[in-house]
Structure 1
């Protein structure tokens, strides 16, 4: 299921919740979320939270419903038409976000639009996308959207919904080249894990826990997850079980390239640019971001299975090293 349709289902659920027969099927889907079925994972935050103390019995799992066609078959023509409209809007948003050079922000842009533009729909998303391009951070972004369109988006409420939604999926828009494992995408992978609030769990590589439905990784698992994730099939393989790395030199010899690994003798981090590193911290209990200068990082490294640009290879040669 595409991210566009997935986010759109949040809105379509409002229509379904008004129909008792459809509502029952919706709760089956919500109550029996399975790996890979992104569709309704954002509903508990975006829709069900507004339903107060409604009690729902845990439904039986019907695995046959975990397909696009099966879900669409539960909807009437009106609801199917709504999904088609939302999908069209989502594709238009994806196109303009790519045009302004921010494809990784596509889900955020779609979620904001689907959630807050009911009374002020847009026929052209060019100006909307430009607000993302010109904002320095999410606070400034929401302030500019509120001022431009005369709406009110509470920062805390939206960020809770956004973080939950991002944790429910792997952002398909963050990859610059889904056919290779390159260091640019490794940096984007780390940023996505940080933004999405991944927790720490020994042996995890970014997959969602079967019980609490939260994504976890351990320190090496943050990198192993990137190496094992197939963006096309949207599944984790087991091709890489051990993180193989080569220390290439001290930090003062490190090229300014996002996606390079950092090492402190025991744990790894991913350099993401601007002097910052992201790593999965056992002591903190989650994926965190910090200034490189605040940690005990002693060397930079490369990882087996990751492609690095010529700038990195030249630095390795200069240092007399040999990348794995």
Structure 2
């Protein structure tokens, strides 16, 4: 199977767009991974100041592949084959897809050289991910299984990078619905997503920030320095973007595809106006996944009296009591289905 630009993109996605990746790359990425991935990492704005450069992602990927030697293409193909093997092994053990994605990323970033000298690498790697209860135990098991000495600090950076790239969520098999919206909002809160006006859950690269500045002007440019120092390289969203990102999320590819799944690109007020079922906050039913609203702002009610919302540039995605933030109305998000928890459990 010939190596392709898609292969490069797939492997690069394991590395992520996080400023902490600078240190990870310098410390634990093998020479071959560096050879193949550094150009792509650079264009994503992770290494160096690339803010002033406009780059076509697909063109760069194709150019890199076209200019590889036969030996480099063979090495890249080998990486893809191992990653495919990891995915199949995780599927065979009925592990969540996110486990396979994390195992692939750890291999691509830190264990390329180890794999070449261990014929049972894939099985041992998946053993570690299957058995470890947390990242600390995972690191200890990996170091023990492969005789490596990756430090806790470097591994923490690596897992942070992976978390910023891989969307860690296990959704139901039903259509877009309120209960999965709650899971989505909780994931964004747990992973400390940032806030940038106009964003909807993708990793904030330098080029994406420039696009948002051009599109939304002072809403973004007035806070540019804070955004660059706090949110660049992380997933970001604005308030309604948190909901739209869920609507546009494609679980098969693990990506957010703009304008898909019937979710319209509307503002917070536009979503409220489009809602059929809504009312004053005093009449709100206790249904997780209902949205709460006041003029210009929207959040997701997650149950037990709490709301998760992308608050502002300085706070990012936060969780607050429903009695705070000045919510005046509730609404059922018009582009998703509303189901009872008992329905979800029976599927």
TM-score relative to the length of structure 1: 0.63
Extract unaligned runs of 5+ from structure 2.
1-5, 16-24, 211-227
- Assess if the C-alpha contact under 8 Å between 1:261 and 1:300 holds in 2: yes
Once residues 276 and 149 of structure 1 are traced to their aligned partners in structure 2, the CA distance between those partners, rounded to angstroms, is 44
Partner SS state of residue 317, structure 2: strand
Match of 1:80 among 64, 73, 76: 73
Q: 1:205 to 1:110 in 2, by over 3 A?
A: same
- Give the deviation of 1:103 after TM superposition: 0.8
Rounded to whole Å, the distance in 2 between the matches of 1:262 and 1:147 is 47
In the alignment, is residue 112 of structure 1 matched against residue 106 of structure 2?
Answer: yes
Distance 2:79 2:190 in 1: 25
Aligned residues: 281
The corresponding residue for 1:103 is 97
Q: What is the aligned partner in structure 2 of residue 239 from structure 1?
A: 264
Look up the match of 2:247. 227
Distance 1:300 1:156 in 2: 44
Aligned-pair CA distance for 1:137 = 2.8
Given that residues 270 and 277 in structure 1 are in contact (C-alpha distance below 8 angstroms), is that contact kept between their aligned partners in structure 2? yes
Residue 223 of structure 1 and its aligned partner are, at CA, apart by 0.7
- Of 190, 197, 202, 1:202 maps to 197
Contact 1:8 1:86 in 2 (8 A): no
CA-based RMSD of the aligned residues comes to 4.7
Number of the residue aligned with 1:134: 131
Which consecutive unaligned segments of at least 5 residues does structure 1 have? 34-40, 49-54, 315-324
Choose 58-67 or 75-84, whichever is displaced more: 58-67
Task: Report deviation, 1:219.
Answer: 2.1
Residue 102 of structure 1: CA displacement? 1.8
1:243 partner SS:
helix
Q: Which moved more, 1:5-14 or 1:135-144?
A: 5-14
Distance 1:279 1:179 in 2: 24
Three-state SS of the structure 2 residue aligned to 1:201 is coil
Q: Relative contact order (C-alpha < 8 Å, sep 6+): which is higher?
A: 2
Pair 1:125 & 2:119 matched: no
- Kindly indicate whether the alpha-carbon contact (under 8 Å) linking 1:164 and 1:196 is maintained by their aligned counterparts in 2: no
Choose 4-13 or 155-164, whichever is displaced more.
Answer: 4-13
Checking the alignment, whether the CA contact within 8 Å between 2:245 and 2:256 is kept in structure 1 is no
